[in-house]
């Protein structure tokens, strides 16, 4: 049978993860990687994959079934998704939660016009976590939903500590507070702010002449980033940083605690523990590319979110097999 033909737009962490994820499927193949940089400067890991400048994407309209959009959420996707959704079926991992409604509207308009199917905000959060929040809330309306993130490397917070005077390198992990998780699992339904639920742990390589006390003070009092949180700062050597902190782990928990009947507590819990955030996120994108392709064949045009997609649409297995082995 014919394979689903994919393109990747943007060759960063997610784009690289997408190459690996496509390789693990039997029903999809990668046609090309599109970039805003000079394609010659992209060091693509597989030999038989072409790198193409993004301005030539339109020429591939008939050769690509679905584009995996792997650009950044801050400035790339708000521009790239509507633009490409006019010509291609797309899947992206837009994760600026507060702006999803306006993003959806602009992508929906483009995809409706182009008779394409554009699945937005796919990944783990938003994505798999969103599905689980909705499932739990639908099933146990008399309850509360909690999301904990981590242990995870936060890019934004790591960048923030690297800008502090005297810091040579630094990484920041967000770690869920064990005590807060326990209270939720106990069914206490506590009121918890993000700062109650998480602590921030920083590993810093200081410049030789740096004042370490001053670094700790600057980091722990930084508004928006650290001031409201319990923050630990640990100084380490460059060798330790290389050895212990070069991966991009992430994950977390969605926990819903609800009551039914005569005050029976029901705990719904979903968790992920990821060694590589971008490789996992790209794997989710690739699975949803199947859904974009299939929905488009059914003339279901416009922007969609994970809420609109039935699980069988993302599976490589037939419905017969799913009923027999997975139900």
- How far is it, in rounded angstroms, from Cα 275 to Cα 51? 28
152 near ligand NDP, judged by CB under 6 A: no
The 3-state secondary structure of 253-288, one letter per residue: EEEEEEEECCCEEEEEEEEEEECEHHHHHHHHHHHH
Instruction: For ligand NDP, give the closer residue by CB, 37 or 317.
Output: 37
Using CB under 6 A as the binding criterion, the count of chain residues that bind ligand NDP stands at: 24
- How far is it, in rounded angstroms, from Cα 259 to Cα 70? 40
114 near ligand NDP, judged by CB under 6 A: no
Find the binder of ligand NDP among 4, 6, 7, 15 (CB under 6 A): 15
Find the binder of ligand NDP among 7, 28, 32, 35 (CB under 6 A): 35
Find the binder of ligand NDP among 10, 78, 251, 252 (CB under 6 A): 10
> 65, 6 in Cβ contact below 8 A?
yes
Instruction: For ligand NDP, give the closer residue by CB, 144 or 281.
Output: 281
Find the binder of ligand NDP among 88, 124, 293, 301 (CB under 6 A): 124
DSSP code, position 248: B
**Which candidate, 300, 292, 302, 306, places its Cα nearest to that of 105?**
302
- How far is it, in rounded angstroms, from Cα 278 to Cα 70? 10
Instruction: For ligand NDP, give the closer residue by CB, 83 or 125.
Output: 125
| DSSP three-state, residue 49 | coil
- How far is it, in rounded angstroms, from Cα 277 to Cα 273? 9
In the window 65-94, what residues touch ligand NDP (CB under 6 A)? 70-73, 76, 93
53 near ligand NDP, judged by CB under 6 A: no
Would you give the binding string for ligand NDP spanning residues 269-308, x where CB under 6 A is met? --------xx--x---------------------------
End-to-end CA distance of the chain: 26
The residue range among 118-126, 176-184, 207-215, 224-232 that interacts with ligand NDP, by the rule CB under 6 A, is 118-126
Number of residues in the chain? 327
Q: In 80-180, which ranges are E strands?
A: 89-92, 117-119, 143-149, 152-153, 167-176
- How far is it, in rounded angstroms, from Cα 320 to Cα 120? 28
Find the binder of ligand NDP among 39, 123, 170, 251 (CB under 6 A): 123
In the complex, the smallest distance separating the C-beta of residue 189 from ligand NDP, rounded to whole angstroms, is 27
In the complex, the smallest distance separating the C-beta of residue 16 from ligand NDP, rounded to whole angstroms, is 8
Instruction: Give contact residues for ligand NDP (rule: CB under 6 A).
Output: 10-15, 35-37, 70-73, 76, 93, 95, 123-127, 277-278, 281
């Amino acid at each position: 049978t014919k394979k689903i033909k994919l393109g990747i737009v943007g060759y960063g962490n997610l784009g690289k993860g997408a190459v690996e994820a496509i390789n693990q499927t039997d029903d999809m193949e990668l046609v090309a990687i599109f970039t805003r940089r000079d394609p010659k400067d992209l060091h693509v890991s597989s030999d038989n994959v072409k790198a193409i400048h993004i301005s030539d994407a339109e020429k591939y309209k008939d050769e690509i079934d679905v584009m995996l959009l792997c650009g950044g959420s801050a400035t790339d996707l708000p521009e790239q998704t509507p633009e490409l959704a006019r010509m291609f079926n797309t899947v992206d991992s837009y994760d600026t939660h507060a702006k999803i409604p306006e993003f959806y509207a602009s992508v929906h308009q483009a995809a409706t016009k182009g008779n394409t199917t554009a699945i937005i905000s796919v990944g783990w959060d938003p994505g798999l976590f969103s599905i689980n929040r909705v499932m739990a809330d639908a099933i146990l309306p008399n309850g509360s939903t909690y999301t904990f993130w981590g242990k995870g490397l936060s890019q934004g917070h790591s960048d923030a500590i690297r800008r502090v005077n005297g810091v040579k390198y630094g990484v920041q992990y967000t770690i869920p507070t064990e005590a807060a998780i326990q209270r939720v699992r106990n069914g206490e339904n506590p009121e918890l702010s993000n700062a109650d639920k998480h602590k921030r742990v920083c590993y810093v390589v200081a410049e030789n002449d740096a004042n370490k006390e001053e670094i700790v003070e600057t980091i722990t009092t930084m508004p928006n980033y650290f001031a409201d949180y319990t923050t630990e700062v640990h100084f380490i050597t460059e060798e330790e940083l290389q050895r212990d902190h070069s991966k991009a782990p992430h994950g977390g928990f969605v926990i819903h605690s609800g009551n039914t009947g005569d005050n029976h507590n029901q705990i719904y819990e979903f968790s992920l523990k990821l060694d590589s955030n971008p490789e996992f996120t790209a794997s989710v994108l690739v699975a949803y590319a199947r859904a974009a392709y299939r929905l488009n064949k059914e003339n279901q045009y416009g922007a969609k979110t994970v809420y609109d997609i039935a699980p069988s649409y993302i599976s490589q297995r037939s419905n017969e097999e799913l009923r027999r082995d997975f139900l």
